[in-house]
Structure 1
Amino acid sequence: MTTFTLTQIATALGATLEGDGDIEVVGAAEPSSAHRDQLALAMDPKYADGLAKGRAEAAILWQGADWRALGLKAAIFVARPRYAMSGLTTLMDPGPEIEAGIHPMAVVHPSAKIGDGAAIGPFVVIGRDVTIGDGARIASHVSVAEGSTLGRNTLLLQGVKVGARVVIGDNFIAQPGCVIGSDGFSFVTPEKSGVENARASLGDQGEAAQQSWTRIHSLGGVSIGNDVEIGANSAIDRGTIRDTTIGNGTKLDNLVHIGHNVQVGDDCLLCGQVGIAGSSRIGNRVVLAGQCGVNDNIFVGDDVIAGGATKIFTNAPAGRVLLGYPAVKMESHIEIQKAMRRLPRFMKSLQQDK
């Protein structure tokens, strides 16, 4: 079990330490349940009462807290508590146990190029002409199809599937079960379909006709930048002709679906159950909260923030904060909801006035 001194933790966080820096801890805990060998996370005054219930000797505290009065032997003070959590968890996370080298139960094609220091677990299948970067770690039951490239320090967790012609940058993380490079959902009818008619007429699908759907195959791939993370059971489709692209620093939550030909910019945050339809473009630093949907073939500008369950059907200008179905400015959505709540009373008043 790895132990950390308070001095080591404070140095890693760039934080201020007061008290005994030689105290050792093996992990972190909520104040009320912290043991003597754990660091209590009491970063707000509302957690002060919890310190008395727990047994921690040291804690990360809010600025200005009197650590002695709280019964502690030492305290670490940080300027931005939630940001400090990123450094603390990075320091304490041991990471997945993947033995160095290639496991004897892995299947690696002779043409594959495996970088220095790579670790490949059991039941992994590496296809023809695949390139695996230095320091990559691949957990069990992962498959990487022909012609794909993984950058340095890639981490593929259990059950990840990487399709053909996928190019991934450095420091990539894929959580269990995600699929990168599946076929795009592209089908066409020999004659004009009811969907096309309805879209053109805004409601009329024309004469009913039997429709037979024919696949359009995906000849493109997926191109992913550096420092990207994909959540569990998410899916990114290959492009039809050009690649589907994900920019540097972008993070996808669990159960996110990126359709074929979509372009996602840098440093975006796409939360759980977000769906982006084919050929849409997402700018840089866009935040889409849970269950947001983006229509096909539209553009969402840089720095757009969309609240939970927002549905974006038309182009969204840069910097806009959106909410609702269909998406409108957040302040407009709030006014609409206020007006809707007043409607029953308003209608009742109209009936009384007749």
Structure 2
Amino acid sequence: MFTLAHIAEVLGQPVLGDGSLTLHRAAEPAVAGPDDLALAMSPDYADALNAGQARAAILWDGADWESFGLRGAILVPRARLAMAGVTAALDSGPRMNIGVHPSAIVEKDAIIGEGAAIGPLAVIGAGVRIGARARIAAHVTIAEDALIGDDVLLMSGVRIGSRVNIGDRFIAQPNAVIGGDGFSFVTPEESGVERARKTLGDQGDISEQRWIRIHSLGSVTIGDDVEVGANSAIDKGTVADTTIGRGTKIDNHVQIGHNNRIGEDCLLCGHVGIAGGTTIGNRVVLAGKVGVNDNITIGNDVVAGGGSDIYSRVRDGEVVMGSPAVKMETNMAMYRALRRLPRALEQLASLRAIVMKKGLGDGNDDKT
């Protein structure tokens, strides 16, 4: 349970009406009951709020809260920011007991910080150091010599590879894999892929080839306040570490290849794939299903639209879209032209028919 005054304090906004109202949960306005906090932070929710039975609500800035029959309200200027505050205040996270579960396996020289919780069937390798108040859920494995910061949350099934270095307040959702080997192989002789890349399509003489692994001697270094979604993977570097900067957020099913260097406060959405050796600046946003080529540079403050394929350098601040990715205004012009193409072809066919008919007619007139 919580009070309306507590939520107002979290949001840094004044309470209008009765701040002592005790509430049980947040709810959508149409289904909110007397003990629920209705979230109606846009005028679009006015009718739904009237349909519900809430006594307290968070409303949009400037709302006439008393007209909805409420006993208390909080007005917020930015809905999604308020949502972040409310959900953080009401989410207690997974319930875990401090200490090491009897079924967990912890190597003798591993160091577990004060107030940490190690869940059932977790495996903590030799030389691992886990920070204070970290929460390690069931079936998590942390390989040898990994360093895990304070207040980290590793959800069930997370795999942390050897020598991985993770900062404070890191969150990994179920089955994320941090520090698997990079996907790096070579052939004894120049491969058809290498020749095709040099010649832009010609493999030369086709011959048998076999792949030899290039091992990953580096690991992964992750800054503070980074989050990684479920089933995402970040590969080790070949010699130096793959690095993820402070504050970067990574969605589900994201693949980050070996030797990548990703900056601070980036947002990588679902199904993004980044090939090896690429450098990405700060505050970059890659929307869903963006693919990034290997060994290129993406500058600071770049935004890439969903489904884009980035094959070459992108400069600071550019907004790109398409495959291959180009500036958004160029992509939109190309798309408009593509939509006009069927009609343009029809017009061209009509014009051709007219010209042909006129040409044949002139020829017949000459003969007579």
| Shared fold, TM over 0.5 | yes
Q: Structure 2 residue aligned with 1:42, among 16, 20, 40? A: 40
Q: Using structure 2 for the length normalisation, give the TM-score.
A: 0.95
Q: Is 1:110–2:100 an aligned residue pair? A: no
Q: Structure 2 residue aligned with 1:220, among 210, 218, 221? A: 218
2:82 corresponds in structure 1 to: 84
Instruction: Kindly provide the CA deviation profile for residues 287-345 of structure 1, in whole angstroms up to 9, marking residues without a partner as x.
Output: 00000010000000000000101110000000000110000001111110000000111
Distance 2:292 2:84 in 1: 30
* 1:5-154 to 2 correspondences below 5 Å: 5-154=3-152
Larger Rg: 2
Q: Is 1:197–2:195 an aligned residue pair? A: yes
Q: Is 1:306–2:281 an aligned residue pair? A: no
Task: Tell me the CA shift for residue 67 of structure 1.
Answer: 1.2
SS of the residue corresponding to residue 9 of structure 1 reads: helix
2:156 corresponds in structure 1 to: 158
* 1:173-252 to 2 correspondences below 5 Å: 173-252=171-250
Task: Tell me the CA shift for residue 70 of structure 1.
Answer: 1.1
Task: Tell me the CA shift for residue 169 of structure 1.
Answer: 0.5
Task: Tell me the CA shift for residue 283 of structure 1.
Answer: 0.3
Instruction: Kindly provide the CA deviation profile for residues 11-38 of structure 1, in whole angstroms up to 9, marking residues without a partner as x.
Output: 1110121111111111111111111111
> Does the 8 Å contact 1:16/1:78 carry over to 2?
no
Task: Tell me the CA shift for residue 259 of structure 1.
Answer: 0.1
SS of the residue corresponding to residue 339 of structure 2 reads: helix
> Does the 8 Å contact 1:301/1:317 carry over to 2?
yes
2:329 corresponds in structure 1 to: 331
Structure 1 runs of 4+ with >3 Å offset = none
Q: Which amino acid aligns with 2:194?
A: E
Identity of aligned residues (%): 59
2:362 corresponds in structure 1 to: none
Distance 1:30 1:195 in 2: 54
Q: Structure 1 residue aligned with 2:266, among 243, 265, 268? A: 268
Task: Tell me the CA shift for residue 74 of structure 1.
Answer: 1.1
Distance 1:63 1:284 in 2: 32
Q: Which segments of 5 or more consecutive residues in structure 2 lack a partner in the other structure?
A: 353-368
RMSD: 0.7
Q: Structure 2 residue aligned with 1:319, among 317, 324, 327? A: 317
Distance 1:349 1:7 in 2: 67
Q: Which amino acid aligns with 1:172?
A: F
Aligned residues: 352
Distance 2:300 2:21 in 1: 46
Distance 1:164 1:63 in 2: 50
Distance 2:204 2:70 in 1: 75
Q: Which amino acid aligns with 2:146?
A: S
Q: Using structure 1 for the length normalisation, give the TM-score.
A: 0.98
Q: Which segments of 5 or more consecutive residues in structure 1 lack a partner in the other structure?
A: none
1:292 corresponds in structure 2 to: 290
SS of the residue corresponding to residue 57 of structure 2 reads: strand
SS of the residue corresponding to residue 68 of structure 1 reads: helix
